[in-house]
């Protein structure tokens, strides 16, 4: 049964069927603690600018940052070089970057992982 709540006093939410030690034990479970921490971090994390990119843009970014030319990226992904250039321009515009060295620096600073990209 709950008590009346008055300013400055917290309600008693205890359940009559559970003993005090078992409630404390349930709250100290490592799995619950890890879940709470993970949820808190994900809710309060600022989004990465890389999150604004589509998966195709991230694939092209990866290849470009690894040193592939537009022609090489086009061969790998079966696009025309002009399409790759359009993607590159769009990526730089979304990220507010104007040249390739700054793009590489940005990707490294934001923890971009350079995994191998599979062609579609």
**What are the domain boundaries of the chain?**
16-45, 49-109
CA distance 41 to 112: 19
User: What's the N-to-C CA distance of the chain in angstroms?
Assistant: 61
User: By CB neighbour count within 10 A (0-12 exposed, 13-18 middle, 19+ buried), where does 63 fall?
Assistant: buried
Which DSSP helix (H) or strand (E) runs through 97?
Answer: none
pLDDT value, residue 85: 93
Question: What is the CATH architecture of 49-109?
Answer: Orthogonal Bundle (1.10)
pLDDT value, residue 3: 53
pTM beyond 0.85: no
CA distance 113 to 108: 8
Note the pLDDT tens digit of each residue in 39-58. 777 666 666 777 788 889 98
What's the pLDDT band for 113 if we cut at 50, 70, 90? low
């Amino acid at each position: 049964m709950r008590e009346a709540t008055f300013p400055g006093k917290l309600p008693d939410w205890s359940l009559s069927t559970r003993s005090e030690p078992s409630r404390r034990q349930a709250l100290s479970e490592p799995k619950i603690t890890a879940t709470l921490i993970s949820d808190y971090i994900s809710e309060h994390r600022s989004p990465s600018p890389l999150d604004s990119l589509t998966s195709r843009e991230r694939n092209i970014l990866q290849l470009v940052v690894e040193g592939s030319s537009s022609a090489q990226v086009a061969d790998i992904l079966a696009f025309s070089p002009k399409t790759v250039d359009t993607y590159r321009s769009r990526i730089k515009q979304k990220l507010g970057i104007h040249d390739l060295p700054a793009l590489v620096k940005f990707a490294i600073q934001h923890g971009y992982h350079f995994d191998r990209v599979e062609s579609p």
